[in-house]
Amino acid sequence: MESTHELDEIRKAQLAPYEASATDPLWIWPLIGVLAFAQFAAWEIEPIAIPIAMLVLYCLGLGALVGFMTKRRGVQPTMRINEMPAPLRRELFIFWALSTLGSGAVVLVAMTTNFVFAGLVAGVGIATLGAWYHRRYRDRVGELVAEL
């Protein structure tokens, strides 16, 4: 009986980092959307050094945001697929699939129209789909915690 309790405690503790990341504020998505828009739209500007600088700034911005969130919550959940609870692993696959499809769509828009419009599509897409995904992830983590 004591060991059953121990196993439950292990499961509960292993969910703690995911619970913490689920409480990240939703405003990060519009912010990433704005950064993505600026990065894409910059490809319409000459000389080439400007969009390259914007790309570097975009990467630095994302890195700073991840660093800020990690410091804020005090933990960074592992991205090791095998260590993740199965329902959250599925959520990660959905995130990757959405990101791949979204990136492909934005590249297609950029090739058929222009980078400013593609940036707009990317920015709005990240802000809305990101926030939607985040709520979905929050619900899944909540369900897992409730199951224990």
Partner 1 sequence: MSEPELDPVIHAPKRLKAMAILVASDSAEFRFLRESIGIRDADLSKQMSTLEEAGYITIRKTKPGRGSSTWYKVTKKGRSAFTRHSDALRELLSEPNKLQT
The two structure tokens encoding residue 32: 């990433």
Q: Does 69 bind partner 1 (CB under 8 A)?
A: no
Among 38, 62, 65, 75, binds partner 1 (CB under 8 A): 75
Q: How far is the CB of 120 from partner 1 (least distance, A)?
A: 34
Q: Taking the C-alpha atoms of 142, 143, 146 and 148 in order, what is their torsion angle to the nearest 10 degrees?
A: -110
Interacting residues with partner 1 between 15 and 54 (CB under 8 A): 15-18, 20
Residue 5 one-letter amino acid:
H
Interacting residues with partner 1 between 83 and 102 (CB under 8 A): 83-84
Residue among 116, 137, 109, 133 at smallest CA distance from 43:
116
**Closer residue to partner 1, CB minimum distance, 4 or 112:** 4
Q: Taking a C-beta distance cutoff of 8 angstroms, is the pair 39, 60 a contact?
A: no
Binding site for partner 1 (CB under 8 A): 3-4, 6-7, 9-11, 13-18, 20, 70-71, 73-79, 83-84
